[in-house]
Amino acid sequence: MKTTKLIRPTLMAISASILIIASSGAANAGAIISNGTITMGINDEGHLNVSGGAPSTDGTTAVGLRYNPTGYEATAPGCLCEGWGAGIVSLGTSGFANVSSDGGANNLSLISFSSTSSTATSVVQIAGALEITHFYHPTSKTDNLYQVDVSIKNLTGTDLAAADLRYRRVMDWDIEPTAFSEMVTIGGVPAALGIANGSNLRRVGDDGFASANPLNDSSLASDCPANTNFTDCGPSDHGALFDFEFAALAAGATASFTTYYGAAGNEANADAARLAVGAGLYSYGQTSRDPVTGTPNTFIFGFGASNGVFVPPNDVPEPLSLALFGIGFAGLGFARRRKAI
């Protein structure tokens, strides 16, 4: 009897270990998530465009950003060019991920990736200097957007000066049904850029093919003016690039901000969704057939920002998810030390 009692817990422990290993292996394949209106493909490191999904209306099998009512895809046709990066200027250190433009993940150590049918959380580190979390989840404010809570923790052991920490998000808009012939809008760009001028936004342009490396300033604009607002620029094969810098960040502190990805059936509904969450800095990708009203779909990328300054989200996750995320507000001075887990 004693032997049986000892063996059973041991077998249970082994089984649990196998399940954990299997779950970890499954997580390393990324995830395709949906809130019913928007479907996204999230890679382990937090960038978009996951292969092996159901075909879009135009036959694209990779999943980046889709509007379910039309079945059209926005970032996966052709070039899988969507990604993000973070870096520290003074150290010359950066990590970034973009399937096509950068050949996948570069200088990123995967700490964890987990997902449900509607959420995904990626945690990575860059050379032991930064820890970056991307938490994708629905927002109660609108079904047309996914909220992405981003946090960057300073692991260097020293304080980072203002403008030393950078973050980039870049996407090549390939809007079906006229993929490779898009009309692009960028709005909410302030007159003065850079942390020295009171703005987190450092640079902005329409080169969606650029590297996700935030320390690489070689490319910014493609067919539209850089560092300013423009409406319905195109048609062309282009996208959007946003570069950010931050206020001074103490050792062990975390800078946090919010981004949004989504789509709507027309531009008016896209405006309503964006305003509902407070995404004051944004890009729209639309077909070349109807850029004025934005039908049959207007795709959206935005930041929770006002006049180029990050602002706290007006919708937060449930308490458990919030605790796991470890949210803190960055902007121009919202920084705090996260509690040790």
Q: In the structure, what pLDDT confidence band is assigned to residue 316 with cuts at 50, 70 and 90?
A: low
pLDDT, averaged across the chain: 87
Give the model confidence (pLDDT) of 258-273 as tens digits. 999 999 999 999 999 9
CA 30, chain centre distance (Å): 14
Q: How many domains does the chain have?
A: 1
In this structure, the strands spanning 72-73 and 309-310 are unpaired
Which residues lie below 8 Å from residue 296, measured CB to CB, with a gap of 6+? 70, 72, 177, 265, 287, 290
The answer as to whether 264 is a domain residue is yes
8 lies in some domain? no
- pLDDT at residue 3 in the model: 32
Note whether residue 1 is domain-resident: no
> What is the distance between the alpha carbons of residues 113 and 95, in angstroms, rounded to a whole number?
17
- 299 class by beta-carbon count within 10 Å (0-12 exposed, 13-18 middle, 19+ buried): buried
* pLDDT-based confidence at residue 158 (cuts at 50, 70, 90): very high
Answer yes or no: is 11 within a domain. no
Say if 162 falls within a structural domain. Answer: yes
Contact by Cβ (8 Å): 32, 53: yes
The reported pLDDT for the residue numbered 25 is 35
Q: Give 258's strand partners.
A: 149
Model pLDDT for residues 70-106, shown as the tens digit of each residue: 999 999 999 999 999 999 999 999 999 999 999 999 9
User: Residue 169 pairs with which residues in a beta bridge?
Assistant: 84, 242
Measured in whole angstroms, the distance separating CA 36 from the mean position of its chain's CA atoms is 19
Angstrom distance (rounded) from CA 208 to CA 1: 67
Q: How confident is the model at residue 219 (pLDDT cuts 50, 70, 90)?
A: confident
> Of how many residues is the chain composed?
341
Residue 92 region by backbone torsions, left for phi larger than 0, else alpha for psi between -120 and 50, else beta: left
Question: pTM score, two decimals?
Answer: 0.86
Domain that holds residue 284: 32-337
CA 114 to chain centre: 16
Residue 142: inside a domain: yes
Q: Is residue 2 part of a domain?
A: no
On whether residue 299 sits in a domain, the answer given is yes
